[in-house]
Structure 1
Amino acid sequence: MCRWLAYSGSPILIEELLYKPRYSLIDQSMHSRMGVETTNGDGVGVGWYGVDGPPEPTLFRGVGPAWGDVNLRELGRSISSSLFLAHIRASTGTAVQQTNCHPFRFGRWLWQHNGSIREFARLKRDLVLAVDPAFYPSIAGSTDSEVMFHLALTFGLEDDPVRAVERMAGFVESVARRHGVPDPLQMTVATTDGERLWAFRYSSQRESRSLFVNTAVSALRELYPDNENLHRLSDETRIVVSEPLGELPGAWQPVPESSWGIVVKGGDRLGPFRPLER
């Protein structure tokens, strides 16, 4: 599968999460501890929003292993952002090519995914034909993840992200039933419009891939008053990850099975995720 992280908070250099933690995303590209595969070497991508720049995000995507990408290292030490997504890919069967690397972008939206649609080749035609003609031309690659993104856009991602992703999941499951494919959907997803960040954890068999979020920074400062890194972060800083970036006791909380969460100024929220029939 894949590993990913999503960051929202005080502006930081991207390398602070990609390279510096003990179990950074780059380390996970070689030595994942909780993924299906230990190695995630089929591409890497980062999507970020400028601190003072335009609302549309910028993308960097490469097809080589993250651990050897010198351009990514240069970017990481020079780009600062208060909201970014990063992803390392382990292909589930589709080609290793730039257009298949996450995150995916449409307008000001970013989307990244860990998981798969079972027997995607059998279901692909029915799924793709349901994409709204307005969004269809933006599908550039061949992954199930990008089709999921465009289905969510079709079902109203820009207006009501939670309902749109629930409709997307319900539609995938209904198509799979028609084709006799059991337990078709496995996903952890991060998506953002540049202001708010949503995360989803769901699978048809209710055994979803791992997903964690950091404990509130204010609480961590009380636990670790001498940790200088925590004092550089705002109280509203949130990091959502496929697996923890370190071993600081109490720093990471598992996202519940079949749930969604939103990171937004003024208060985060968590709710149950229930696929909806189209």
Structure 2
Amino acid sequence: MCRHLAYLGAPVPIAELVLEPQFGLYRQSWAPRMQRYGTVNADGFGLGWYADGDPVPARYRRAGPIWADENLPELARVVHTRALLAAVRSATAGTAAGEAAAAPYADGSWLFSHNGALSGWPDALGPLAALLPPADLLSLAARCDSALVWALLTHRLRTGQQPAEALAGTVQDVARHTDARLNLLITNGHVIAATTWGDTLFHRLERGRSVLVASEPSDDGPGWVPVPDHSLLLATPDAVSIRPLDRADPIREDNS
């Protein structure tokens, strides 16, 4: 499994979101408080953030544990952003190592992270791979289950599906073919969309200022709201909506 977070709101240093909170993502790499599967997230980490006026995010990813990166504290101290997605990785057995397998994955304006695992990797996943166009399958970001999920989701986003519909359809496709844990998290710098499917997720909204969506609370302060399992979340700094996510029922949305 993994731990991840996404933020939208007033500009803040990356360190304020990732490194400084008492129980934040940095600490969750070795001592998560609510992780249901695995105990350490030391198989890589990544940050993706947006600069004002540029819709394409920048990324900083490494193959090793977040606590071992000597450059990150300085980078995180001086880089301010209105939108961030960050993750620490606990690799599924049999998947590739290296920073290419570390979230966030990216495509155009989108960033993506997967907290979970696809059982039977890789032998049982042939039917899932067959859902992709050959070119998408040949260009997987890495040889791992998260990259396959990202390719399935990217294909839906590229056809024009809105985030909620694309996330729901991807989860339903995967769930039909294999047992899986599928806490998915995406942002394009304007909206956060996420699913809960087998692990924890929380949100904290300061209406009109910021929203934070995370695998677990980064502190013991007020405002953290748990998201029920098998749910779909859409969030902006102005509002958070949550609806049930069924194995079969299609999700439709007018806009995001």
Pair in the same fold by TM > 0.5: yes
Residue 219 of structure 2 is aligned to residue 246 of structure 1:
yes
Letter in structure 1 aligned against 2:74: E
Query: Are residues 108 and 156 of structure 1, via their aligned partners in 2, closer, same or farther at CA, if it must alter by over 3 Å?
Result: closer
Q: Mean alpha-carbon deviation: is it higher for 32-41 or for 126-135?
A: 126-135
**Does 2:165 match 1:163?**
yes
Please tell me whether residue 199 in structure 1 is matched to residue 194 in structure 2.
Answer: yes
The Cα shift of 1:15 comes to: 0.3
Offset at 1:125?
Answer: 2.5
Any conservation in 2 of the 1:11–1:51 contact (CA below 8 Å)?
no
Other-structure match for 1:3: 3
Structure 1 residue runs of 5 or longer lacking an equivalent are: 177-183, 203-207, 219-234
Mapped to 1, the partners of 2:44 and 2:247 lie a distance apart of: 30
Partner of 2:102: 101
Q: Distance in 1 between matches of 2:248 and 2:139?
A: 25
Q: Which residue of structure 2 lines up, in the alignment, with residue 237 of structure 1? A: 210
SS at 1:50 equivalent = coil
Match of 1:145? 146
The answer (yes or no) to whether the contact 2:8–2:189 under 8 Å persists in 1 is: no
Report matched runs for 1:21-100 at 5 Å. Answer: 21-35=21-35, 36-52=37-53, 54-93=54-93, 94-100=95-101
Against the structure 1 CA distance between its residues 41 and 107, is the aligned structure 2 distance closer, same or farther, given a 3 Å change threshold? same
Deviation, structure 1 residue 120? 2.2
Q: Which amino acid aligns with 1:20?
A: E
Q: CA deviation at 1:236?
A: 3.5
Cα distance 1:129–1:277, how it changes in 2: closer, same or farther (>3 A)?
Answer: farther
User: Partner residue of 2:203?
Assistant: 213
2:2 maps to 1:13: no
TM norm structure 2: 0.89
CA separation in 1, counterparts of 2:188 and 2:111?
A: 7
Residue 265 of structure 1: how far off its partner (Å): 5.4
Structure 2 distance, partners of 1:8, 1:191, is: 12
Q: 1:260 deviation in Å?
A: 1.1
Deviation of 1:32 (Å): 1.1
What residue number does 2:177 align with?
175
- Distance in 2 between residues matched to 1:277 and 1:256, nearest whole Å: 17
3-state SS of 1:155 partner: helix
Deviation at 1:137, TM superposition (A): 4.8
Q: List alignment gaps of at least 5 residues for structure 2.
A: 251-256
Structure 1 residue aligned with 2:253: none
3-state SS in 2 of match to 1:186? strand
Contact preservation (8 Å) 1:18, 1:25: yes
Quote the offset at 1:121 in angstroms: 1.2
Q: Given the alignment of the two structures, is residue 187 of structure 1 paired with residue 182 of structure 2, yes or no?
A: yes
RMSD of equivalent CA atoms: 1.9
Structure index of larger Rg: 1
Q: Name the SS of the counterpart of 2:147 in structure 1.
A: helix
8 Å contact kept, 1:55–1:194 = yes
